[in-house]
Amino acid sequence: MRRMDFANRTVVLGVGGGIAAYKACEVARLIVKGRGKVRVAMTPAATKFVGPLTFQAISGAPVLVDLFDGQAEPSYGHLQLAREADLFLVAPATADLIARLRAGMGNDAVTTTALAVTCPVLIAPAMNTRMWKNPAVQENLAALIVRGWNVVGPGAGVLADGDVGEGRLAEPNEIATAASRLLGNLDLSGRRVVVTAGPTREPIDPVRFISNPSSGKMGYALAAVAARRGAEVVLVSGPTALADPAGCRTIRVETAEEMARAVEEVAGGMDLFIGAAAVSDYRPTTSAPHKVKKGAGDETLQLTRTPDILAGLGTRFGGKPDAPVLVGFAAETEEVIAHAREKLKGKRCDLVVANKVGGSGSGVGFGSDSNRVALVSSTELAEIEGPKERVAEAIVDWILPVLDARRPRAQPLK
């Protein structure tokens, strides 16, 4: 399937009531241009910004707005739309609409359709930047992501109200590209991918451990994106609060040694390894079988190095002509790029995704839903910033040509 080919696919477009609703017309037009079928549901508020007739003209079909207008549409119109949908796209998703979707409400054409769909869902948020940063909005969105919904945007820039910042609806082209991907841009089909994610826990005794604040979100986003793009994905995850990503085999581990063993078991035949885990570099040399009681004075903890999983794979495969593509992460508090370059060489990987951690109030990095990273390879340096899903897509986009050059496909894309 070409990037923007929607042939034989139906996208149900749910339009929310924001100024960016006019851009949803362009999204609908791009899908129609890509030979797709578009069916539109609008919230009453959305009709204040763009008339249903506009969407009717673009999509060539009646628009569902009023659930109770038996004249215009049958009262079960939302169920019909949900049945037809190969993808449910909500654009723009306002703060109010996101909250209602999260709560599972069914009080307009968009939310009732959302309740009835069984296909993938993509939402494109758009709102004022201060509203976007509000924890209520972020929590609602995070809950939808946990449910397996996908998010595109928002972008940053000058907003309709003159504020500058994140909150702008993603560009129509970006939304249509994300939609076409979800509908099956299977550019990783036939590929075996192993991803590590989350922290590890190295026990001191049964109730204490050494660990770090990694949430696992970046690795989970990478696993989900790779699976969505057709790969067979094994996610080896340290302890996290996240649900297993859809379409992946998830192996849960606790310690660095368990993670190393799990990777070893699944590494044979892999095409791509992404080490997104924040693996503890040291473990207590001995782990007490019972809770250690505190004494009067100070204690010394003796530490032993854990196996370096990525470096081990680099030694095993690095430099071989058909080696799997190896991707590492470098979370650094200073000299980020220099350290990333050292890691690239030292661990013999193809790409290091570097990010600065530990700065206060940055809102990106450990635990957050956004990330600002630099992709460091032997020949390139590129910066990406945005929600972790989008960063994950960009990382996969970077990897793809390297993978295709190193390990040409035996079979053509489906």
DSSP conformation class of 86: S
Q: Minimum distance from CB of 219 to ligand C5P (Å)?
A: 9
Question: Residue 343 or 348: which CB sits closer to ligand C5P?
Answer: 343
Tally Cβ neighbours within 10 Å of residue 322.
Answer: 9
Collapsing DSSP states into helix, strand and coil, what is residue 133? helix
CA distance 316 to 329: 19
**Residues making contact with ligand C5P (CB under 6 A):** 196, 256, 275, 277, 279, 281, 306-310, 328-330, 343
**Phi–psi pair at 186, nearest 5 degrees:** -85, 55
Question: Residue 10 or 200: which CB sits closer to ligand C5P?
Answer: 200
Q: Minimum distance from CB of 197 to ligand C5P (Å)?
A: 9
CA distance 40 to 138: 26
Q: Single out the residue of 54, 3, 62, 64 nearest to residue 29, CA to CA.
A: 54
The answer for residues whose C-beta is within 8 angstroms of residue 198's C-beta and 6 or more apart is 214, 215, 216, 219, 237, 238, 239, 240, 242, 277, 278
CA atoms within 13 A on the CB side of 173: 0
Cβ–Cβ < 8 Å for 363, 213: no
Q: Minimum distance from CB of 220 to ligand C5P (Å)?
A: 14
Question: Residue 71 or 285: which CB sits closer to ligand C5P?
Answer: 285
> What is the length of the chain?
414
Beta strands in 246-368 (DSSP E): 248-252, 272-275, 282-284, 303-305, 325-332, 351-356
Q: Minimum distance from CB of 276 to ligand C5P (Å)?
A: 6
Question: Residue 6 or 329: which CB sits closer to ligand C5P?
Answer: 329
Q: Single out the residue of 84, 71, 82 nearest to residue 115, CA to CA.
A: 82
Question: Residue 308 or 389: which CB sits closer to ligand C5P?
Answer: 308
Q: Minimum distance from CB of 337 to ligand C5P (Å)?
A: 14
Question: Residue 150 or 306: which CB sits closer to ligand C5P?
Answer: 306
Q: Which of 140, 150, 185, 212 is catalytic?
A: 212
Tally Cβ neighbours within 10 Å of residue 408.
Answer: 8
Query: Is 212 among the catalytic positions?
Result: yes
Q: Minimum distance from CB of 263 to ligand C5P (Å)?
A: 8
Active-site positions?
A: 212
